[in-house]
Amino acid sequence: MRFYPPETIVSPLKLIRRERLLPAPGEILVEEGERVDPVRVIGVAHVPGGFHILNVAQILGVSNRAARRLLKVQAGQDVKRGQLLAGRRGWGGQACKSPVDGRVTGSGGGRLLIEAAPQDIEVRAHSYGVIAQVYPNRGVVIETTGSLIQGVWGNGQEGFGVLRVMVRSREGTLKERSIDPSSRGVVMVGGSSLDRAALERAVELQVRGIIVGGIQPDLLEEVQKLPFPVIATEGVGVIPMSTHIFQMLSTHDGREAILDGRCQTGWDALRPEIVVPLPTEGKADMAQYQDRPLRPGDRVRAVRAPHTGVTGTVMELPAMPAHLETDARLPAAKVQPEGGGAPLLIPIMNLEVLR
């Protein structure tokens, strides 16, 4: 029977196109074909400032209709702090003044809406590459080549720095004692996880990022507050990093890596990723996703206990379903783990293809 498991990209060399969007409409400062580095400002977003709603009718003690007649400003008009917006003539006449510098953007029901001046926020490229496309006022598409590794969980932060593999094996735990002052400013690569002491030390030394197999659930809250990116390649828990990913990161030890720890589940799912930019002369994997069923020879990764993180090669797709410890009978694949060991029978639903 044909099965199409989900895929994770773990590619040594790939052409990568990524959108970089402004959080609000603004100006784009780069042009198509321009080469950028991570710190290059690609655009400035005009993020709306705060707003104030003034109940003019109430302040002046008049009806909504009367308030409209007493307005001295109209929608679209810029106003200064303290400027008269509406008022009544004569003795004891009330006045309604603007509490901020801003613009009148709406009125109705005896009220005025004043938006404070927008704040300008610079958005950086956060990548090495070439501007492939410009969306006017909105953002750009940056094209680059390099190794691409999709993670599973991230703390929402972005950053870049030089990779340093801190453990001897993919099963190793990132420990406090292995983090010395020379780790300042690097992206640390751990094995199966890191402990609390190591996390505190990493914060103290202002590392640029952390990549591990799993994040222990009791550290999740703290990790989410960190100012630098933390990416788990396998999931939540103590999970040895996939052999393939650990080998690839070890190969890039000492190279600069770009980390995007943004992660979302549900309708707008988003996976964190690690990019190691590499120069290329047309050798990058340009191929788009190929829709084909799982078959012997495919490289796969197990994504559920008890084999989470195990990578291997599909040897066979048995016709008969496998009988699991839960008593369920499900289609399975016979997988030869990388690094040796006996073949494993893993439900196909719990596999993803590594491409």
Partner 1 sequence: MATEQTIGSILAVDCGAVLTKAVLLDRVSGSYRFIARGEALTTVKAPWLDIAVGVQHAIEQIEDITGRTLLDAGHHIITPQRDGGIGVDVFVAVGSAARPVRVILAGLVPEMSLSSAARAVAGTYSAVEGVIIQEPRRRMSSEEQVHLILHSQPDVVCITGGTDGGAALPVLELVEMAALAYSMMEEERRPRLVFAGNAALRERVVEIASGIAEIHAVENVRPALDLENLNGVRVELDSLYRTQHLGRLPGVEMLTDWSHMPLIPSAEAFSRLVQYLWYLDESPKGTLGIDLGAVNTTIAAVFGGRLYVTIRGDLGAVQGGRRILARRGHESIARWMPLPITPEQLLGNLLNREVRPSTVPQKPEELWLEQAVARETIRDALQTARPGWQPDSAQLYRQMMPLFDPIVVSGGVLAGAPRPGQVALMILDAVEPIGVSTLLVDANGLAPVLGAVAMVKPAATVEALDNGAIINLATAICPVGVARKGDLVLRVRVHYQEGGGTLEVEVPYGSLEVLPLPAGQEAVLELQPLRHFDVGLGGPGKGGKRRVHGGLVGLIVDARGRPLQLPHTPVERQAQVQQWLWDIGG
The residues of the shown chain that bind partner 1, judged by CB under 8 A, are: 1-7, 25, 48, 51-53, 55, 75, 105-106, 108-109, 111, 113, 115, 152-153, 216-218, 220, 235-237, 265-269, 288-289, 291, 293, 303-307, 324-330, 347, 349-350, 352
Q: Which of 7, 45, 253, 280 is nearest to 143 (CA)?
A: 280
The dihedral through the CA atoms of 169, 171, 177, 178 has a sign that is: positive
Q: Which of 57, 83, 55, 52 is nearest to 70 (CA)?
A: 57
Is the CB of 36 or the CB of 96 nearer to partner 1? 96
The nearest distance, CB 220 to partner 1, in angstroms, is 7
Is the CB of 39 or the CB of 269 nearer to partner 1? 269
The nearest distance, CB 352 to partner 1, in angstroms, is 8
**Cβ(192)–Cβ(241) below 8 Å:** yes
Number of residues in the chain: 355
Give the separation between CA 166 and CA 113, rounded to whole angstroms.
Answer: 55
The nearest distance, CB 313 to partner 1, in angstroms, is 20
Is the CB of 35 or the CB of 292 nearer to partner 1? 292
**Cβ(337)–Cβ(345) below 8 Å:** no
The nearest distance, CB 247 to partner 1, in angstroms, is 23
The nearest distance, CB 181 to partner 1, in angstroms, is 31
The nearest distance, CB 106 to partner 1, in angstroms, is 3
Q: Which phi and psi (to 5°) does residue 351 adopt?
A: -120, 150
Q: H-helix or E-strand containing 20?
A: strand 10-21
Q: Which phi and psi (to 5°) does residue 273 adopt?
A: -150, 160
Residue 2 exposed, middle or buried by CB count within 10 Å (0-12, 13-18, 19+): exposed
Is the CB of 41 or the CB of 305 nearer to partner 1? 305
Is the CB of 88 or the CB of 355 nearer to partner 1? 355
Is the CB of 39 or the CB of 320 nearer to partner 1? 320
